[in-house]
């Protein structure tokens, strides 16, 4: 059979299960982009069926085609301009009367239409019996039953679609609007028929003109004789409005609703009048006037704890793999810029960002779960009281919820808001919702400075602060920038249903691919740029002769080893006594394990020790000073080993043990001194680098927030994308690390004296609030068609970030944190 290409447009109300069916049909063979010239998401997918290649286009979810919003206009224009072979209208069978209004408008476009009664099982549970034959007879379109979340009816739908395409029979549906309106439709249609190059169906075009559809009117204006047509339409509208004493578009809409009501009355029978559905019972709790809001916040708290706790395990695996890869490159490549670029710039930067992919996936898993079950619509309903208090309504919260995933679709989602004031306010506060790009920053800093017991709560507090700030700023903007009355909130709550595993996995797959693409492009480029800025200029005028100081340390070490070990044992080199060498190796292994055990013990003992040091220093009593005690105990280690393993070694080697321990102590002191000099040298080199100069330039502005120049470089670079803050710090600390230092970034940050838990929390707050990323700023420009609003968004959010971060840091400092 020859292969034929066909285009199928999927249309339907929001929450009708359209995307679930789209995923069932296309699986992973789909891609996401934007429609040309607008920021409306375009989803396309392919399916081969009975030797034919079917291209499915998932149109934006919409309740009508009246073109009040951008997504409605796009859906309509795709059908008219692209002329798909067939339209599949996905209907929520449990709410058929509401969904049929769109079906009537699609049928009036005179394209072949198939009606898919989705969620047929939910309709049956609600006690509804739908007669498919009556629907087909009244609407003139084939009807197919589907249950999207169980993938039932998909094959039957594909079969019906291909058969309808073969027949190529346009919809002959024509709704009777009554004698008066029909007479004017005929009159306008007659005038339109005399015009050339009319791309719209004539009857539909006449109805739209009578409805005063501005997009259609603007199209007619550009055509020859367009003014003549519009004049005739104006006269017809005036006459009809005199007859009906009402706005004509309302009269036409009422006729459609009346027809839909008649169809439903004939096609649907009810067995359980007044019976409460399962969704109604659940909503009595989840949308409760008092309990609804706490339940919403509790669900979000559980989500963030789940993301942090569960995602930490695969994150550590990826970090381990990146660490091994960095060490492998370090060991097998010659010294030079290429080695540094790969190990420090790319692996240290991009690798650090990639390690947070598990948390990103889990966050989108949770969001997809809440969306597909129908809870997100309830969240908007619950938040309506809060949003109404600041001059918005619950529908504005839907784009804000999308902001938890990414600010770009959140800003794009405002196109569903009819009120331009609501739309502008929502656009400006959407970036305050903590997007997934900020999640790697939170995870990094929380892991480094907060215990696992409070990690989820710390992360939840950041997201909560974003919501509160969005509410406060919306109140300010609505009062001073965009004053006006608040519109009523009307929103349909879809029935609860189990999400499909395919839908959730598809959603996670799409987001992970986008995240990895960003890591492989934007973040890779940023990491390479930051590596260059931190490595050059290569010649630095050091304040100390580091090479000379290192040589002095080596000479001192050699002299002391000779005096205290080699001469007493009457050997010229350590290699002359293999037993001594083996004993030193064993002591080193035991001491290394002690360090690991001490580190695992946590920071409590360290805090106690530092407190004791302060007390000892204040009293001047050397006996009570733990530092002096440590020194004394190290000197007495030879006499009384604290470690049982060392005691066994001493007992087994009473002659060599004191010399082996002495050598280990001298070597350990040498390593500590060399590491200190290496860190000083690397820090000084970074300070003189281009990145260091940039950091020192912005440091005065961020010093009151507790930030140093390294954080300044990260914040500047993260304007491109928030994840870049992590890759920048990874690159800076990799470049500034001493040779063979394989410590993870979390450990390095926790050991940096510039960082404290308070500084880390303040940095998270600043990252949450300050400038939207470049992609979000570009979308604001496209959505508002002005450079003024992205510039305003950049300035106001950065100033707000400074003020809030300053308050957090200074208050925290006063409280002793």
Asked if 402 and 372 count as a contact pair (C-beta separation under 8 A), the reply is no
3-class SS at 46? strand
Return the structure tokens found at 127.
Answer: 């006690």
Q: Give the E-state strand segments of 436-511 in sequence order.
A: none
Q: How far is CA 123 from the centre of its chain?
A: 35
At residue 528, the pLDDT reads 74
At residue 28, the pLDDT reads 57
Average pLDDT score over residue span 412-438: 81
Give the best-scoring range by mean pLDDT among 3-12, 48-57, 110-119, 762-771: 762-771
- Beta bridge partners, 8, equal 56, 86
- Beta bridge partners, 114, equal 88, 142
202-247 pLDDT, tens per residue?
A: 898 899 889 888 888 888 888 877 888 889 889 988 898 888 888 8
Asked if 692 and 686 count as a contact pair (C-beta separation under 8 A), the reply is yes
Place of tokens 């002793």: 816
Name which of 762, 339, 813 is nearest 531 in CA terms.
Answer: 339
The model's confidence at residue 616, banded by pLDDT at 50, 70 and 90, is: very low
Q: How far apart are CA 41 and CA 413, in angstroms?
A: 9
Q: Where are the domains of the chain?
A: 4-167, 179-244, 295-492+512-535+689-814, 546-673
Q: How far is CA 646 from the centre of its chain?
A: 52
Burial of 479 (0-12, 13-18, 19+ CB in 10 A): exposed
What number does CATH give the domain 179-244?
A: 1.10.287.1770
The model's confidence at residue 614, banded by pLDDT at 50, 70 and 90, is: very low
144-201 pLDDT, tens per residue?
A: 999 887 888 899 999 999 888 888 887 788 899 889 999 999 998 888 888 767 777 8
Q: Which pairs from 309-315 meet CB under 8 Å and 24+ separation? A: 309/452, 309/455, 309/456, 310/362, 311/358, 311/359, 311/361, 311/362, 311/443, 312/447, 312/452, 313/358, 314/358, 315/355, 315/356, 315/358, 315/359, 315/443
CB atoms within 10 A of CB 454: 11
The model's confidence at residue 622, banded by pLDDT at 50, 70 and 90, is: very low
Q: Give the E-state strand segments of 121-193 in sequence order.
A: 128-130, 142-145
Q: Do 4-167 and 179-244 show the same overall fold?
A: no
Give the best-scoring range by mean pLDDT among 412-421, 463-472, 720-729: 463-472
352-384 pLDDT, tens per residue?
A: 667 767 877 787 788 778 877 878 777 777 777
At residue 48, the pLDDT reads 87
650-668 pLDDT, tens per residue?
A: 888 888 888 888 999 999 9
Q: How far apart are CA 603 and CA 607, in angstroms?
A: 6
pTM for the model: 0.56
Q: What are phi and psi of 197, to 5 degrees?
A: 60, 45
Q: Angle, to 10 degrees, between the axis of helix 248-267 and the axis of helix 202-210?
A: 120
- Beta bridge partners, 30, equal 45
Classify 4-167 by CATH class.
Answer: alpha beta
Average pLDDT score over residue span 765-790: 86
């Amino acid at each position: 059979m020859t292969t034929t290409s066909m285009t199928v447009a999927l249309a339907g109300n929001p929450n009708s299960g359209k995307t679930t069916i789209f995923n069932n049909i296309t699986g992973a063979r789909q891609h996401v982009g934007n429609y040309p010239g607008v920021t409306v998401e375009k989803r396309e997918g392919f399916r081969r069926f009975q030797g034919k290649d079917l291209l499915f286009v998932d149109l934006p979810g919409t309740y009508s085609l009246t073109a009040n919003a951008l997504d409605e206009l796009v859906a309509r224009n795709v059908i008219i301009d692209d002329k798909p072979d067939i339209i599949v209208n996905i209907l929520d069978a449990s709410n058929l009367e509401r969904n049929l209004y769109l079906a009537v408008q699609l049928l009036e476009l005179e394209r072949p239409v198939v009606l898919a009664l989705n969620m047929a099982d939910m309709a049956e549970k609600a006690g509804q019996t739908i007669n498919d034959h009556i629907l087909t007879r009244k609407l003139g379109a084939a009807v197919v039953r589907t249950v999207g979340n169980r993938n039932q009816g998909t094959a039957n739908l594909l079969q019906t679609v291909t058969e309808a395409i073969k027949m190529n029979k346009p919809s002959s549906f024509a709704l009777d609007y009554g004698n008066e309106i029909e007479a004017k439709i005929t009159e306008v249609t007659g005038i339109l028929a005399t015009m050339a190059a009319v791309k719209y169906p004539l009857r539909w075009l006449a109805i739209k003109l009578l409805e005063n559809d501005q997009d259609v009117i603007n199209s007619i204006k550009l055509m020859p004789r367009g003014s003549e047509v519009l004049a005739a339409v104006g006269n017809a509208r005036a006459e009809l409005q005199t007859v009906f004493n009402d706005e004509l578009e309302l009269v036409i809409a009422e006729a459609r609703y009346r027809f839909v009501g008649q169809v439903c009355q004939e096609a649907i029978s009810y067995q359980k009048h007044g019976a409460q559905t399962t969704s109604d019972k659940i909503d009595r709790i989840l949308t409760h006037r008092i309990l609804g809001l706490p339940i919403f916040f509790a669900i979000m708290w559980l989500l963030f704890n789940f993301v942090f706790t569960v995602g930490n395990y695969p994150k550590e695996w990826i970090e381990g793999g990146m660490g091994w890869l960095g060490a492998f490159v370090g060991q097998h490549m010659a010294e030079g810029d290429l080695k540094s670029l790969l190990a420090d710039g790319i692996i240290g930067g991009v690798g650090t960002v990639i390690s947070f992919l598990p948390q990103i996936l889990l966050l989108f898993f949770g969001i997809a779960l809440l969306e597909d079950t129908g809870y997100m619509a309830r969240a908007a309903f619950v938040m309506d009281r809060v949003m109404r208090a600041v001059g918005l309504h619950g529908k504005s919260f839907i784009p804000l919820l999308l902001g938890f995933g990414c600010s770009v679709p959140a800003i794009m989602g405002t196109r569903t808001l009819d009120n331009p004031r609501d739309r502008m306010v929502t656009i400006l506060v959407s970036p305050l919702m903590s997007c997934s790009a900020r999640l790697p920053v939170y995870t990094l800093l929380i892991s480094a400075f907060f215990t696992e017991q409070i990690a989820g709560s710390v992360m939840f507090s950041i997201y909560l602060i974003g919501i509160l700030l969005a509410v406060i700023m919306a109140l300010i903007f609505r009062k001073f920038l965009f004053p006006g009355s608040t519109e009523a909130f009307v929103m349909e709550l879809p029935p609860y249903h189990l999400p499909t595993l395919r839908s959730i996995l598809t959603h996670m797959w799409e987001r992970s691919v986008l995240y990895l693409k960003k890591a492989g492009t934007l973040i890779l480029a940023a990491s390479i740029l930051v590596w260059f800025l931190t490595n050059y200029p290569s010649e630095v005028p050091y304040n100390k002769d580091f090479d000379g100081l290192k040589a002095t340390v080596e000479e001192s070490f050699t002299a002391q080893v000779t005096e205290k070990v080699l001469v007493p044992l009457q050997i010229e080199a350590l290699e002359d006594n293999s037993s001594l060498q083996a004993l030193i190796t064993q002591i080193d292994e035991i001491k290394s394990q002690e360090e690991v055990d001490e580190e695992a013990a946590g920071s409590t003992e360290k805090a106690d020790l530092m407190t004791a040091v302060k007390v000892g220093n204040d009293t001047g009593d050397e006996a009570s000073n733990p530092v002096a005690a440590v020194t004394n105990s190290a000197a007495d280690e030879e006499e009384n080993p604290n470690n049982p393993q060392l005691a066994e070694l001493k007992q087994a080697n009473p002659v060599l043990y004191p010399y082996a321990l002495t050598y280990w102590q001298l070597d350990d002191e040498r390593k500590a001194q060399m590491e200190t000099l290496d860190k000083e040298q690397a820090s000084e080199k970074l300070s003189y680098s281009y990145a260091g100069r940039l950091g020192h330039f912005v440091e005065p502005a961020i010093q009151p927030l507790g930030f140093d120049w390294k954080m300044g470089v990260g914040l500047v670079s993260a304007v491109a994308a928030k994840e870049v803050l992590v890759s920048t710090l990874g690159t800076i600390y990799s470049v500034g690390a001493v040779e063979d230092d394989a410590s993870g970034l979390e450990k390095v940050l926790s050991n940096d004296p510039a960082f404290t838990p308070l500084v880390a929390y303040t940095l998270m707050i600043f990252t949450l609030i300050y400038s939207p990323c470049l992609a979000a700023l570009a979308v604001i420009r496209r959505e508002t068609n002005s450079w003024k609003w992205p510039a305003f968004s950049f300035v106001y959010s950065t100033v707000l970030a400074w003020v809030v971060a300053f308050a957090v840091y200074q208050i925290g400092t006063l409280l002793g944190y």
